[in-house]
Amino acid sequence: MSDRIKIVYYALWFAHPLLQAGIAAAMLRYKLYARFKYFFAYVVTQILTFALVFSAYRYNYTAYFYLYWFSNAVSAVLGFGVIHEVFLDVFRPFHTLRDLGTVLFKWAGLVMILVAVVVLVSSDIRDITPLTQAIVAAQRCVRIVQVGMVLLLLFFSRYLGVSRRQHSFGIALGFGCFALVELALVASWVGDHLGNLTVGLLNMVAYNLSLVIWLGYAWTKSPVRDVSVMLQPHRWEHSLSDIQHPVSPDSLIPMFEGMVDRALSRTQTAPAPLLDETNAATPLPRGGAIPMTRLNLPGVPERVGTKR
């Protein structure tokens, strides 16, 4: 590594904690840490990781190796937690959709753990340890999910009432951009992406751009979200709720609805009442007999007696 490249490498590396410190300060100032706990933990963990990994990089390569891959494993776990956190924030007004997404994320996490375990057991590459291969596989799974989250927000933000200036969208955008670049670099340098200097520099540049995106969103006020006028997601919510909680056949609600429908149909099809020739405003019964009730007419007694 030449001196010029070394200066660029260290400059990009030192930019990580500086930008992350600005993000953490903004989250503390605007109390975003209570809303995005996993993302705040991810940012703080990255700052602490830099202090440990950089010190080990300068003085002890063995400690640096284990600290580096351990921090990557922690970042993968927290990254998946951030994805779930963003998903919950996006679907916060829709409780049924949020519950369904939580179940799907649990299954996705289980699948990623199984993939990492299979890679750990079946890997036989001598240059790279099986544990390293398992961590890399878990990271790739998280990156794929992050890219999918960004695509979900880009295509469905209009239907869900999510503004592109909201904090959840900015967090997903930063992770998605970095994940897309990293996956593209891995696909371009198959087999040499762990030790290639060019790939490492490009990866650090992409991560710094993601930090800049998060920093801008953290210091920007998020607009108020209004989902009362969003009819389509409410229909999804009601349809999914009906599937989860169907009405039992012996319920009284369908019976009452049927009674009301029959009553309304009879009212609409009832014949016009018969009218008295002397007073057209007073309807008479169908048989033409005057009922023995109070008529409230002038000059007529209150009760009409029957013939003896």
The sign of the torsion formed by the CA atoms of 101, 143, 79, 16 equals: negative
For the whole prediction, is pTM greater than 0.85? Answer: no
pLDDT at 248: 52
Question: At the topology level of CATH, where does 3-221 sit?
Answer: Rhopdopsin 7-helix transmembrane proteins (1.20.1070)
Percent of the chain past pLDDT 70, that is, above it, reads 64
Euclidean distance between CA atoms 25 and 215, whole angstroms? 10
Token look-up 């029957």 returns 306
CA 241 from chain centre, in angstroms, equals 17
pLDDT at position 306 over 50: no
Residues 6+ apart with CB under 8 A from 202: 181, 185
Q: Give the pLDDT confidence of 91-100 residue by residue, as tens digits.
A: 777 666 677 6
Closest CA to 124 of 133, 112, 136: 133
According to DSSP, the residues that pair with 283 across neighbouring strands are: 275
Residues 6+ apart with CB under 8 A from 142: 76, 79, 80, 83, 112, 179
Q: What is the dihedral of CA 30, 34, 37, 43, to 10 degrees?
A: 20
Domain boundaries, the chain: 3-221
pLDDT at 143: 86
Per the model's pLDDT, the better-predicted residue between 166 and 300 turns out to be: 166
